[in-house]
Structure 1
Amino acid sequence: MTKPIPLIGSGLAAIAALITPSIALAHPHVFAEARLEVETTADGYVSELRHVWRFDEVFSSSVMLDFDMDGNFELDAGELAKISELVTDSLSEFDYYTTLTVNGVDAAFTLPEAIKVAFQDGQLLMFFAEVPSDKLPLKGKIAIGVYDPTMYAALDFMNDADMAVTGSSAATCARAVIRPDPDEIIAQNQDSLTEAFYDTTTSNDLSKLLATRLELTC
């Protein structure tokens, strides 16, 4: 079980900590406003899970300092591509902080392209889409959660509208946004979660229980 010390400091170290398996921290060090769109098709299937993460200005400034190789206070296409390559390769180990279940059973998904990275108004943005590995009909209960099990990053859906269903079949299912109380969840599951806090690479129990999630009842 690997427990490297979390890296805190420069932008490169912060990104390394964001994507490196680490002991769970008492509180997050990176903050991002998140949005999730569940895209649906006219024939009643989920086609994509679309994510946008807008990171806080402190973290974004650190990234700028470390990846702005020519010192012009801008991230050009090549510099952004380096960040994209780094996070795309590494976040796959954490399923891009996403959990997907159908009637309580895990469902697989893939990332068809690289995580895109942009820098706008002093903030770093990451956006990407995941595709269900198998056809995912809008039937039963579908739950999509977003959570960093290492607790290094806090991905915050500011409003319930930031977890949306889009596309031709958006009105097919009843929609609910679930925001678990972390203290209550941990208290109720203390024994089973003890190992999960120290072994985030092999267990997604934390993500399933603590994630802000969108539940669709169809």
Structure 2
Amino acid sequence: MMKLKKIFAGLIFVLAQSFMVPAAQAHPHIWIEGGIELVFNSQGYASGVRQSWLFDELFSTYALQGMPRDKAGQVPSAELEKITSEWMAALADPESHFFTKITLAGKPLTFGAPRDARSTWDPKASQLVLSFELPIDPPVKIDAKGIEVDIQDPSYFVAFDYKGGVRAFKGIGAPAQCKFGYMPPRPLDPKTERLLWSIPPTQKELPENLREAVRQLSHQFTVKCP
């Protein structure tokens, strides 16, 4: 987690100095619009979780600052591959582990090494997208008790949004009887929000009382196949 924060925190510091953005002085620092898919294999077992992270415009613009562009504004694929490698290495830290947890009937499952990781740049929207798949190792059969995928940064350094709720959650090759659900994060109380917004970007860890409070900010995606 610390490696990831060092990568992002350096960007946040320069953003605060260069762009004078008030929001860069508080938690969260980076906003991501997410998309998520649960992949099933030919036997009908859940075999992976695919994710797409659309970074906010301000962070995206700075992350690519100084990189060469072609006439259409595109960034060379080699530069995007370098960013992807750095981010995936940082996200693999056991503490953050891609901000993703998955359980089957309440029991945690393990992921294999991520695959199909890539970054893309939309010059018109000035936004970066990171996409990747976390294989479920081994694949599992989902029953009526169901599977749950939780997305959250426990430090609230990164905030997620899933527009459309359950419509942002898709099944690839899912058995017909499977039912998909989504539970959004519970809103924070005003006092907690003020405390979070008062934390400077130089402070990498949340106090214990705030760590407990932000646990309710998890996006919970469920699938049951009765």
Indicate the residue corresponding to 1:154 in structure 2.
159
Q: How many residues align?
A: 188
* CA distance in structure 2 between the aligned counterparts of 1:114 and 1:42, rounded to whole angstroms: 19
1:42, distance to aligned residue in structure 2 (A): 4.0
Indicate the residue corresponding to 1:174 in structure 2.
179
* CA distance in structure 2 between the aligned counterparts of 1:38 and 1:172, rounded to whole angstroms: 15
SS, match of residue 183 in structure 1: coil
Indicate the residue corresponding to 1:215 in structure 2.
222
* CA distance in structure 2 between the aligned counterparts of 1:178 and 1:40, rounded to whole angstroms: 22
AA aligned opposite 1:159: G
Tell me the C-alpha RMSD between the 2 structures.
3.1
* CA distance in structure 1 between the aligned counterparts of 2:182 and 2:14, rounded to whole angstroms: 35
| Percent identical | 23
1:50, distance to aligned residue in structure 2 (A): 0.7
Unaligned runs of at least 5 residues, structure 2: 16-24, 193-204
Query: Would you say the 8 A contact 2:31–2:160 is kept in 1?
Result: yes
- The aligned runs of 1:12-27 (5 Å cut-off) are 27=27
TM-score where L is the length of structure 1: 0.74
Query: Would you say the 8 A contact 1:84–1:117 is kept in 2?
Result: yes
- The aligned runs of 1:53-202 (5 Å cut-off) are 53-66=53-66, 68=67, 70=68, 74-93=74-93, 94-113=96-115, 115-120=117-122, 121=124, 122-139=126-143, 140-160=145-165, 161-169=167-175, 171-183=176-188, 197-198=206-207
AA aligned opposite 2:173: G
* CA distance in structure 2 between the aligned counterparts of 1:101 and 1:154, rounded to whole angstroms: 22
SS, match of residue 65 in structure 2: helix
The runs of at least 4 consecutive aligned structure 1 residues that moved more than 3 Å come to 4-7, 70-74, 196-199, 204-209
Unaligned runs of at least 5 residues, structure 1: 12-24, 188-195
